Each structure stands twice: as structure tokens, then as C-alpha cells.
Amino acid sequence: MNDLIIKQGKLINGDFIDIVINDGRITAIGPSAATGLPSIKEIDLHGHYYISAGWIDAHTHCYPHSPLYFDEPDLIGAACGVTTVVDAGSTGAEDIDDFYAVSRKAKTNVYAFLNISRTGICCQNELADMAQIDNKQLQNAVRRHKGFVIGLKARISKSVIGENGLQPLIQAKTMQEENGLPLMVHIGNPPPKLEEIADLLTKGDIITHCFNGKPNRILDDAGNLKLAIERALARGVILDVGHGTESLSFTVAEQAIKFGAYPHMISSDIYQRNRIDGPVHSLASVMTKFLNMGLSAEYILNCVTSHPANLLHLPHKGRLERGRDGDITIFELKKQRTELVDADGHIRIGTQQFIPIAAIIAGVHIVVAENTTAENISIKNSSAKRSTINGIPL
């Protein structure tokens, strides 16, 4: 008896497939992979809805006990069609243990970038005092939580670093050499200048808030891509969206993409306030903005599945393949008018929208996305009882 079978899901290329999941992993996948197979639970999409590997939001703030930027993993994760969330530095070495304990209670997969400040984001200027950076504490925390801590986070903008200039980033690069984890660098208002930051980054490092409209944006005054960014991209530095409350400009994103500066990861920088009040709302909302800026649906899906899985070294996630984790997102790609707002308050009218229907995590947790009104989906338990998607137990 198989744990879960999904029938007639539609891929973004229009093909239809079945997926069989056992013990948390995909064990069979193909056009007729589920034919004649028994299962404890079966979901039949009847070819009406898309499926992809589970969406990964590579930049969130989901430590519920954070004093500034906080949310519940399942509210920004599974309830929004997202199967994996990565917290981007809310916690440091002093509170990562508590975050780990809290995260184990969530249905959504949770990982963390560890802030180089031992206190995490307990205030807006956590790196204004270099004494907050304790390499021994950080390395011990990384070792304690190997597999949960998947990167380091340094917020390098004037409001965070005070008068310390590039010193916190230089220290972060030294700390990174000891553990080999990816380093995510937040950019905001100068000083230091973006050019100085970018020139210190190496292959696999991540620039987040890459399309912000602030003075430290990746475009120069003439609207061209800054040479330091071109050099960084050539070295293998990664661009992460990190929309957030202040960090996505339609104008900057569209212009940068014209110069070939495509995002490698599309992420939300979501937390309770910008989830409820906007302009973020959900990862699907951010994906929709890029869809209506001209990126293909397939490229956008890669930016929330295979790209973050590869770049953040999550080898069992990000692809619909035999042996990968049984994390699946069911969604619609709906043609309808939608009003889109960037972080600068600029409004665009879109014509297509990503709408999550459900998140399936390890083939066990099946969470229907908020406000879902999907029809033409049926489920069947081994008892042969059927119901619509809205009847799937949370």
C-alpha cells in the first residue's frame, strides 16, 4: 500500500503526470505511474491544476519570538502553498536553539541563515557594536544545528552597521571560511557603497534585496548595471529578490533584467506585518509580480524550486524526481486582472496570477492554501471516502 498517489497533475509545460510517494520520498513519477496502484490516500487533479516541486521561500522571517520581524512558519509557508521556508537571520547564536525547537513543531520545512550578530535581529542596528560578533559562539551554533543552519546572514546597510563600515562584512567572510556555508548579504542605504560590498563577495554568496530602489541599487545613475555587479555575477555571486516592505522596485527590476541580471532566487522577505498589510502578502504574490514583468512561468518556478535547492545545498528538494522529498505545490496559473504594488507604492495591472491551491509536505501533511475555492479535485482515503480539496484534513 502506497502512502499517497497524486493523479493527473499538470506540469508547466502542459504534460500530465502521476506521482507516488512513500516514506516521505517520491518513489514513482510519470504519465501513468499510478495506474493500478493501491494507496492510503489519493488526490486526483483531473488535469485541471498545475503541480511543481514544493515551493521554497529562501528569505523569510518566521521566528515567532523575534522582537522585530516575526511570523509563524506555517502561516507564511504551507498556508501559502510553500513547503519550505528559510529564515534570513532573525536569530543569532544566542537564540538559534529556541528557534530550532519551535521550528520542529511546524508542518512546513524550516531552515535558517544564522545572523553573524550573536543576538540576531533584536534591534535595527545589531552590527553597530563589533562586540556582537562572536566567532566562537557562531561556529558552535553552526555545529550544533548542522542541517538546520544552512547559511550565514549579514545586514550591511547604514542603519544596521552604524560607523563600522565594511568591518562586519569582512568579519563575516572570515567566519564563512571556517564553515563553508553560503553568505547572504542584505543591501540597503549607504554607506558602505554597493560597489564596495559586491567586490568582497565570492562565488555562492547572495546579494538579497537585489532590486531595491534605494541609492545603493544595482543600477548606476544612467540606468546601467553597475560594473561591480557585472563582475560579481561573473564570479558566481547570486541575486535574491527579498521583496520585503522596502526592497522591490518594478523599475529597477525591469531595467536590470534587460541587462541580463535575472534573479537566481525569488523570495518574499515576508513577516507578519508585510504579510497582512502588504506589499508582500505571500510568495505567490511576489511570483505574480515577476510574471507580469515578463519572466516566464517556468523560469519563475525554477527560482522557487530547483535554484534555491541547488544554491542552498538542499539536495532532496526542488525537483519532481524519484528519490526526492515528497514536497509538492498544487497551484493555478489564472488569467485575471490583478493589481500589483511594489515596495515604492507603484501600481501595475497584471493579467495573470499564481494561485496556490495546496502544499503537500513529505507526502504526509496536506495543507489547503488560504482562500482556496478549487473545484475538480477529489481525494480518496483507503476507506474509499471522497471529498473535495476543501475537505482535505489539515
CA distance 222 to 150: 37
Is 344 annotated to bind a ligand? Reply is no
DSSP-derived letter for residue 54 is: P
CA distance 201 to 198: 5
Is 59 annotated to bind a ligand? Reply is yes
Is 186 annotated to bind a ligand? Reply is yes
pLDDT at 372: 72
Averages of pLDDT over runs of 10 residues in the chain (394 residues) are 96 98 98 94 96 98 97 98 98 98 98 98 97 98 98 98 98 98 98 98 98 97 97 98 98 98 98 98 98 98 98 98 98 96 98 97 92 68 53 41
* Domain locations in the chain as residue ranges: 2-52+324-334+349-381, 54-312
Superfamily of domain 2-52+324-334+349-381: Urease, subunit C, domain 1 (2.30.40.10)
**Contact predicate 374/49, CB 8 Å:** yes
The three cell numbers of residue 133 are 560578533
The DSSP result for 207-237, as a single string, is EESTT--STT-SB-TTSPBPHHHHHHHHHTP
Using CA atoms, how far residue 376 sits from 16, 20, 37, in Å, is: 15, 20, 22
Count Cβ atoms below 10 Å from residue 13 Cβ, excluding itself: 7
207: Cα within 13 Å, side-chain hemisphere: 33
Point out which residues pair with 110 in neighbouring strands. Answer: 85
In angstroms and rounded to an integer, the radius of gyration of the C-alpha atoms of the chain is: 21
pLDDT at 106: 98
Widest distance between CA atoms in the chain: 67
**Contact predicate 238/269, CB 8 Å:** no
* Residue written as grid cell 535558517: 112
CA distance 163 to 184: 21
Phi–psi pair at 194, nearest 5 degrees: -55, -40
Q: Which of 61, 60, 81, 57 is nearest to 69 (CA)?
A: 61
Angle, vertex CA 157, rays to CA 312 and CA 150, nearest 5: 15
Is 61 annotated to bind a ligand? Reply is yes
CA distance 53 to 301: 9
Superfamily of domain 54-312: Metal-dependent hydrolases (3.20.20.140)
pLDDT at 370: 78
Is 365 annotated to bind a ligand? Reply is no
Point out which residues pair with 84 in neighbouring strands. Answer: 56, 109
pLDDT at 384: 46
User: Could you tell me which residues come within 8 angstroms of residue 62 by beta carbon, excluding any fewer than 6 positions away?
Assistant: 70, 71, 72, 73, 76, 77, 85, 87, 90, 103, 110, 271
pLDDT at 371: 73
Give the amino acid at 41: K
CA distance 377 to 391: 10
pLDDT at 381: 78
CA distance 217 to 209: 9
* Residue written as grid cell 543600477: 219
CA distance 165 to 127: 10
